[in-house]
Amino acid sequence: MAYNIGILGATGAVGQEIIRLLHERKFPIGELRLLASARSAGKTQSYGDQTWTIQEATPDSFAGLDVCIFSAGADQSKLFAQEAVKRGCLVIDNSSAFRMEDAVPLVVPEINPEAAFKHQGIIANPNCSTIITLMGLYPLHQAFGLKSIVASTYQAVSGSGAGGIVELEQQARAWAEGGEMVKKVYPHQIAFNLIPHVDKFLDDGYTKEEMKMLNEGRKIMGMSALKVSCTCVRVPVFRAHCISVSADFERPVSVAAAREAIAGFAGVELVDDTANLKYPMPLDYSEVVNCGVGRIRKDQVFENGLALWVTGDQVWKGAALNAIQIAELLHEKGRL
């Protein structure tokens, strides 16, 4: 069976990867309808030998679609999601618009696939850093029972969309040529710098991005008592996020058992050979399906603690790929 698929935000960095991955993963497509803002309408988008004309998104754009992957930001999701559902279209939403709504499943297929079957027309894709972190933590939770985590993220500029990528590239070139460092996307120079600030600050000093790790992690794993302290940092890396995690568990841990749990979990791979300087890095996990986990060691603070390092492609597993995997899950189970 082939499905009529829409992509809202088709011209963005994630939208373009959705087009690519749908074809590379051979998802059964009937019609592919590319939707964007009025300013992009009439432009064309190509993949392989196929070319599509971008259409302006309106409420009626979703008529006749089986599923539409939204990747145009929370405002557009709030504007169009219910309109799509009214027209019989399932929405898989990449934005933050519906993640914490009780009626909307928040899904990572390797972790809570059953939640996807309980949707009421909208399924939310978690935040990129949350997905990548939990891909490394969930198999350890299954083995030892997770209680709390302290995490620092190292987030690539791809998390800011195409503009972040362009700004890093332009600043790096300007530095090399002695030119002016122009700042538009970030409040400070990102080239050769670290910015300990992702998203808006809240009254308690944390940012909205940092609280996503807590709130979304609790919802995805069904752990209302999970404790999380997170610091999110933007780094001058084009693609793939990294997360340093110290995790406390209910039961005694061992590095050997942790490595075994990671190695046996779908969607992640163990890269933990410090004797040969092997550990996951962004260059190795850009445009890669799996997330990498390494630097696993006993934590020096928590009694039943482990420290680890997780790396994954923000544009793929953190966004486009996870959304497509949700659609694949529903297709495989005959629920799409």
Q: Which residues are catalytic?
A: 128, 241
Instruction: Kindly tell me the burial class for residue 184, based on how many C-beta atoms sit within 10 Å of its own C-beta (0-12, 13-18, 19 or more).
Output: exposed
